[in-house]
Chain A
Amino acid sequence: MSALDPDSLSENGGGEWRRVSPKFVVVDLLSTLVSAVLFIVGAGVPWILSGVPWLVVLPIAAFVVHALVAAFTPRRVRAYGYRLRADDLVFRKGIMFLRVVSVPYGRMQLVDLTRGPLARAFGLSELKLVTAAAASHITIPGLAEADAEALRDRLVELAESRRAGL
C-alpha cells in the first residue's frame, strides 16, 4: 500500500464520508473557464503586441494547464469529503496532493458560511472552520445551502458541548 487511505485513517468513531454536491463540478468548471479566459488573453498580449511567433507558446501553455485542471475537476470534487465522528470532524481533499485533517469539535473557534455569486446561482455554500491554529484551515466547498446551514448549526452545537480552552 503506497497511498494514504483516508478510510482506514478515520474508521473508528463511526459516521460515513459525506461528499460535496455534484453540482459543484459545474461551479468549479465555470470558475476554471473564467480563469482560463483571463489567463489565455493575458498570456496572449505579448504575442499579439510584439508579433514574435514563439510567444504563442504562452497562451497555449495557459490553455493546456486549464484544460488539465478542468479534466480532473470531477475527480477532484469527488475527493472532497468530511466525516462527523464522535469527537472530531475529519476532512479530506485532493487526489494528487491528498490531505486529511482531524479537528476535535472542542477546538473549533468559528464556523463561517460564505456564498460566492457563482455558487449562489446553483444554491451552494462554502463552509469554513477556524481553530486557534492558522494551519488548520478547512474549507468545505459545494454544500447545498440547507445542508450547509444544518451542518453549521450541528458543528456549533457540538463545539459548545465540548468547549475547551485554547
Chain B
Amino acid sequence: MTTADESGPAARTGLADGEWHRLHPATPLLRGGLGFVAIVGIIIANLRERLVEWFLPGVCPPQGRACSQGDPFAYIVENGYALIAALAVLGILLLCIALFYVSWRMNTFRITDEVVEVKSGVLFRTHRKARLDRIQGVAVARPLFARLFGTAKLDVEVAGQDANVPLAYLGNTLADALRADILRLASGSRAASTSGSPAPAAGSLLGRRASELLAPELDPNLAPPESVVRMHPGRLVGSTVLSGTTVALLVVVAAVVVGLVITASGGRELVWTLFTFVPIAFGLLSYQVNRLLKFLRYSIAATPDGVRIGYGLLSTRNETVPPGRIHSVAVSQSIFWRPADWWTIRINRATRQTSSEGQNAQQSTVVLPVGSRDDVFRVLELLLPGLTEGGARDLFERGLAGRDADADFTVSPRRAAVVRWFSWRRNGFALFPGAVLLRRGAIWRELAIVPTPRVQSVAVEQGPLARSLRLANVHVHTVAGPISPRIGALDVVDAQALFRDVAEAAVAAAGTDTTHRWRASEA
C-alpha cells in the first residue's frame, strides 16, 4: 500500500492497478477544514489581548491591571490549574490526531479495470462502487481551502442523484493524472497512451503553489491548452445584467419603493415591507454575483476523452464528460439577449448533484453561460461530434432563429395560433440522422437537441382542446434535467409521424451505440 501524496509518481499514476490505496494524508484536515479554522479562530479571539501583550508589550493601557485579566487563560494560571489544562489540551490534540489518523487509514480507494471503489468511515463504514463503463463524467474540484494546500478532489460521477464516488483529497498533479487513468480505463482503450510524464514544476514549494493557483483550469498535457470559447468579462457582465433575474430584482426594488411611498406615514408597515423584500433582493443579487464569479474563468475544450468544462474563480471545478453522456442539449436565447445575439447552452446529464455542492451543482448543467452564435457552433461541435458537419450548420441556424416550414423543419399548422400565439410559425421539429431537433418559442427562443441513442422513450398526447383543433403533443423522454424536450401543437398527422420515426430511430440507435466504451475500437 502506498500513500497517494504528491511525492508519488505523477503520470500513469500506478494507482489504477487494482490494489487498495490511501488518499492524501491531509484529507481529514481538509474535510473538516472550515470547522478547524473556526476553532482556531475562537481560541485566537479569546486570547487576543494576551497575544497582543506578548508580541507588542506596552500596547495595553496601564490602568493598574494586566490587560489580559479576566480571560480564561489568566483564570487558569491564577487558580493553579495550569498543569491540568495543559494536559487536557494535549489530550484533546492527541485524540484529534489519533482520530484523523484512523479516519485516514480507513479511507481507501481502488481502481480496477472494471470498477472504482471507495471505502470510508470509521464507525459507519461506506463502500461505494462505480462501474467504469457506466461513468457519466470525471470532475476535478478544488475548493479554495484545498487549493491552498495544493490538493484536489476527484469526483467520479455515475448515473443517479448524488451518486458520485468522491476521491477526496489527492495531490494536484496526481488528481489530474488519475483522472486520465480512469478515463483511459473507462474508454475501453487498454493501451496506455504514449504521452510522457509531465515535467515537475520547477521552483520552490511556494512558487509551485502560486503557479498552480494561477494556472488555467486545463491541464496542458491532456488537452489543447486553449479553450474554444473565450469568455469576455464585458459580455458576461452584460448578459448577467440583461437576464430574467435582473427583471425580478427590478420588480422587487419597485415593490419596495412603492411600498415605501404608500406606507410613508405608518412605521410598522414600512418594517414589514423591508423585512419581506430586502432578503429577496439580496438573494437575487448574490445569485447574479455568484454567476459572475463562477463563469469569469470559464473554459471549454475537447479532449480525446470528451468535453472538458472548467469554471470557478476561487473554488474551481473542472469536469470531463465522455462522449455519449450528454442526454440532451438546449440552445436558448431570451428576448433581452436578442439584440446582441447571445445564446446560452444547457445540457441534461444522467448525474445530478443536489445538496453537497449547493449552487455550484445547480449550475453545472450550463455548458456555455453566454456566447455569440459562432461560440454556440464551436460548443455544439464538441457536444455533438459528428452531427454538426457539412450542411448541418445551416440546419442548426434555422433551428436557432428560423421560422416557417422548410425541407427539414415541420411546423405547427395555422390553426395552432390559438394555443401558440406568437410562435406557431416557428414551433416545429426536424428529424436528423442521429438527433431530434425541437424548435420552440418566438420570444424565448429555444432549440432542444436530443441525440437518438439517448432517447429513453417517446410519448404522444392529446387532450380535449388539442383534439378539437386537430393537434397533438409529442414528448421525447430523456433523463431528468433542466431541459424537457417536448413539442406541442403539432398537426395530428405530423405528430404521429414524429412519434413513429423517433420510436424507430431510438431502437435502431440504441442497438448500434458503442459510446459506453468510446475508444474500444481504437485499441
| Chain A residues packing against B (C-beta within 8 Å) | 1-5, 8-9, 12, 87-88, 90, 96-104, 106-107, 131-136, 138, 162, 164-166
Q: Decide if B477 touches A5 in the complex (CB within 8 Å).
A: no
Q: Decide if B462 touches A9 in the complex (CB within 8 Å).
A: no
Separation of A87 and B509 alpha carbons in the complex (Å): 12
Q: Decide if A4 touches B475 in the complex (CB within 8 Å).
A: no
Separation of A87 and B513 alpha carbons in the complex (Å): 15
Does B67 sit at the interface, judged by CB under 8 A?
no
Separation of A46 and B308 alpha carbons in the complex (Å): 62
Q: Please give, as numbers and ranges, the residues of chain B lying within 8 Å of A107 by CB-CB distance.
A: 456-457, 506, 510
Residue of A nearest to B515 (CB): A165
Residue of A nearest to B475 (CB): A135
* Chain B nearest CB, measured from A162 CB (Å): 7
Q: Decide if A133 touches B479 in the complex (CB within 8 Å).
A: yes
Separation of A2 and B467 alpha carbons in the complex (Å): 6
Q: Decide if A102 touches B510 in the complex (CB within 8 Å).
A: no
* Chain A nearest CB, measured from B503 CB (Å): 4
Given A2-B470, A107-B456, are A135 and B484 also a contact pair (CB < 8 Å)? Answer: yes
Q: Decide if A97 touches B500 in the complex (CB within 8 Å).
A: no
Residue of A nearest to B495 (CB): A4
The residue from B459, B463, B468, B484 contacting A101, defined by CB atoms under 8 A apart: B459
Q: Please give, as numbers and ranges, the residues of chain A lying within 8 Å of B496 by CB-CB distance.
A: 4-5, 8-9
* Chain A nearest CB, measured from B317 CB (Å): 22
Q: Decide if B507 touches A132 in the complex (CB within 8 Å).
A: no
Give the 5 A-B residue pairs with the shortest CB-CB distance, closest first.
Answer: A133-B456, A133-B477, A165-B516, A102-B503, A87-B507
The residue from B350, B468, B503 contacting A2, defined by CB atoms under 8 A apart: B468
Separation of A99 and B472 alpha carbons in the complex (Å): 10
Q: Please give, as numbers and ranges, the residues of chain B lying within 8 Å of A131 by CB-CB distance.
A: 456-457, 477
Separation of A96 and B464 alpha carbons in the complex (Å): 6
Separation of A104 and B456 alpha carbons in the complex (Å): 7
Separation of A1 and B133 alpha carbons in the complex (Å): 47
Residue of B nearest to A129 (CB): B457
Separation of A106 and B503 alpha carbons in the complex (Å): 12
Q: Please give, as numbers and ranges, the residues of chain B lying within 8 Å of A4 by CB-CB distance.
A: 460, 462, 472, 492, 495-496
CB-CB contacts below 8 Å: B473-502 with A: 475, 477-480, 484, 492-493, 495-496, 499-500
9 new A-B contacts, CB < 8 A, other than A131-B477, A165-B133, are A2-B468, A4-B472, A8-B496, A87-B507, A106-B510, A135-B459, A164-B511, A165-B515, A166-B454
Separation of A106 and B513 alpha carbons in the complex (Å): 12
* Chain B nearest CB, measured from A72 CB (Å): 13
